[in-house]
Amino acid sequence: MTIGRRLDAATGHLPAPLAVVDLDALEANAADLVTRAVGTPIRVASKSVRVRAVLEKVLATPGFAGVMAYSVREAVWLAGTGVTDVLVGYPSVDAGGLDALAAEPVAAAAVTLMVDDVAQAELAAKAAAAHGTTLRVCLDVDASLRVGLGPLRAHLGVRRSPVHTPAEAEALARAVAQREGLSVRGVMFYEAQVAGMPDSSAAVRAVKRLSVRDLARRRGLVVDAVSQAVGHRLDLVNSGGSGSVETSVSDPTVTEVTAGSGLFVPTLFDAYRSFEPRPAAFFGLDVVRIPASGYATTFGGGYIASGPPTASRQPRPVWPAGLTLTPREGAGEVQTPLRVRSGADLRVGDRVWFRHAKSGEVMERFADVHLVRGEAVEATVPTYRGEGRTFG
């Protein structure tokens, strides 16, 4: 039975718009990530999930350990629900959130902050001093590829951290370690040009190979420099993403990898060669009118993914087959018109299933998500939004 027919059978009694997660696909994706990690612990990226019940389910899977949060307040909340190891993946200047972290001993013991600038460390140190506690810190090191010949230089990857060289990492580590109440725990490298880019061309694959080679050399030098600066061996060296698990774990310096999108597998991950995509997250919209022959209009659907505003960021109708967004209107705030291929038959009241371009973002549009196994809803659980939690 096709995924669309299974989802129809499981959720036909439920109103749309609605979000679902296919548990069989989710579990297969989690198992695949563990296999690819060959024993290296996997930290779950919460921004790619945003459903606490799913985070808990994945963390209960052998091979997964800890959460990478995207917000300090989210990290404090997760620590309060029992998550014992939370790495905040991004720097924060949220003074109130940092104060809440320092004020809560359980959270302070569970959470590691991210910095790439002394100014961020100053805010964390101020919060730590106010409550007489110690906050753990990780340094975000730029993992982009810089290539050049003579005066010609190219930056391949995202503009993430200003810290790139071992000397820059060492200088930041010394500055942070001098702040009372801060302890440097580790370093993170997110190779976006490897983990976040589909294998869409020979040029992209060449950049990935060069990036992996560069990091295999530079990562160890950075770790040694930071360890020397803080006077102890680092216990946290985080790297990678769903698209780069194999190459990241091949470096013995790496103590853990992060993955999130590989659990739900959104459309932007369809072109990866490093793993078999098994889509696990869908949303359903109902047809509310047939405006003309060859067209159908669904209610809702304007769930556009972040990033450059291109067609790749739009949701994609996947069931029934033969449906496409109309180029003039695309996915709409209240309604989404679809072009219906000749021979396809849609009627008012029929349900259309879509996949989102990115992973956890779609969950911000729903209060609950239905966990489906086979042709039945196994459970209905709240998203972050459904729990009254929005963190940006």
- Write the pLDDT tens digit of every residue in 377-387: 999 999 999 99
How far apart are the C-alpha atoms of 81 and 107, rounded to whole Å? 10
**CA nearest neighbour of 113 among 79, 82, 142:** 79
How far apart are the C-alpha atoms of 362 and 314, rounded to whole Å? 11
How far apart are the C-alpha atoms of 360 and 370, rounded to whole Å? 14
Which residues have C-beta within 8 Å of that of residue 351, sequence separation ≥ 6? Answer: 8, 11, 12, 16, 284, 285, 286, 287
Burial of 278 (0-12, 13-18, 19+ CB in 10 A): middle
Say whether 339 sits in a helix, a strand or coil. Answer: strand
Mean pLDDT for 326-354 is: 92
pLDDT at 211 over 80: no
- Write the pLDDT tens digit of every residue in 11-21: 999 999 999 99
| Structure tokens given for 335 | 């309604």
Signed CA dihedral, 371, 303, 261, 338: sign only: positive
**Residue-averaged pLDDT of the chain:** 92
| Residue type at position 365 | R
Of the two residues 103 and 245, the one the predictor is more confident about is: 103
The DSSP annotation for 327-338 comes to TTT-S-SSEEEE
- Write the pLDDT tens digit of every residue in 236-290: 999 988 888 988 899 999 999 999 999 999 999 887 777 788 999 999 999 999 9
Mean pLDDT for 113-138 is: 98
Q: What is the pTM of this model?
A: 0.92
Q: What is the per-residue burial (b if ≥16 Cβ within 10 Å, else e) of 169-200?
A: bbbbbebbbebebbebbbbbbbbbbbbbbbee
pLDDT band for 215, please (50, 70, 90 cuts): confident
My answer on whether omega of the bond before 320 falls inside 30° of 0, hence cis, is yes
Q: Which domains are seen in the chain, by residue range?
A: 23-261 (3.20.20.10), 281-386 (2.40.37.20)
Q: What is the per-residue burial (b if ≥16 Cβ within 10 Å, else e) of 116-138?
A: bbeebbbbbbbbbeebebebbbb
